[in-house]
Amino acid sequence: MHSVLRNPMRGIALKVSSVVVFLAMQTFIKLAGSDIPPGQVTFCRSFFALFPIMAYLAYLAYNRQLRAAFYTANPIGHLKRGTIGILSMAFGFYGLLHLPLPEAIALGYALPLVAVIFAAVFLGETVRIYRWSAVLVGIVGVAIVSWPKLTLFRDGGMEAEQAVGALCVLLSAVLGGVAMIQVRRLVEEEKTATIVLYFSITASVFSLASLPFGWLILAWPTALYLIAAGFCGGVAQILLTESYRHADVSTIAPFEYTSILLGGIVAYFVFGDVPSVTMLIGTVIVVAAGIFIIYREHQLGIEQREARKATTPQA
């Protein structure tokens, strides 16, 4: 069994890096257009993710770890993670394609709270008042940012397509929380390369089954956007999976909120959305919540090191 390393600061750094790359993936998918079937998007995301994963495996081969990367002692666990993950992606991509990017991101912020709750219930992680407070404060910040942008409920009604998209994003967040728990269990006995490799293979095979339901012949710009999205997805998956090896789910989950600032920047420069005062206020609140968790984890690390020194016999 592979031991799970305890380095919360490294886990947070890897999580934030994964958020940045996942945002790039979302941007490419959004640029590809809303007419593409979710199954086709999911296949491109999963299949082209194999290329950076293979590069990662080549690095492992250089270090003579390649054979170990393909070995798994828990094929059922990988199948469960793949099934949950593919459903989460499919629902999430549908919502992303049919909602404005800021709204899709804002609704997806249900994921960190779900992840913290699930980590406490199913993994038995100790979630103290500090983390709960930071998550709830982050939710308040997200609400401040997202409320003016939630055009779904304006003018006394909402378009059915957007309503379904919003529900799909929320469902994706719940499934994503379940997937986080499954990955956290897998990292206790499986290598990062093994987890991301089998996930991408499983997701590619499952999403390929949607081919008879009407895939489109893509123009080159659209195809390139989806290829780039898949590549980014593979890199982000490696970073995200590795982050679970170094920190509790409840510690790193709130850092999903860091995409709120980057998402606003991308929405402005790529899609023409102008940031509002409420967005700036909400962003400050969200960033403050994340900084508080970093500070708290740093303090806990100091306390744990001092406790170990106190209990270590002196020579």
35 phi and psi angles, rounded to 5 deg: -90, -5
> Which residue is it, tokens 């919540």?
289
Report the alpha-carbon distance of residue 297 to residue 226 in Å, rounded.
37
pLDDT higher than threshold 80 for residue 56: yes
Mean pLDDT (the chain) is 80
Query: Does 196 reside within a domain?
Result: yes
Tokens describing residue 152? 């779904």
Q: What is the mean pLDDT of residues 266-282?
A: 76
Query: Does 178 reside within a domain?
Result: yes
CB 86 within 8 A of CB 49: no
Query: Does 311 reside within a domain?
Result: no
Between CA 3 and CA 135, with CA 112 as vertex, the angle to 5 degrees is 105
Query: Does 274 reside within a domain?
Result: yes
Query: Does 314 reside within a domain?
Result: no
Q: What is the mean pLDDT of residues 245-274?
A: 78
Q: Structural domain tally of the chain?
A: 1
Q: Which residues contact 37 (CB under 8 A, 6 or more apart)?
A: 210, 213, 214, 215, 216
Q: What is the mean pLDDT of residues 244-259?
A: 77
> DSSP secondary-structure letter at 256?
G
Number of Cβ within a 10 Å radius of residue 97: 21
Query: Does 86 reside within a domain?
Result: yes
Query: Does 3 reside within a domain?
Result: no
Percent of the chain, pLDDT > 90?
Answer: 18
Query: Does 133 reside within a domain?
Result: yes
pLDDT higher than threshold 50 for residue 163: yes
Provide the residue range defining the domain that includes 23: 8-304
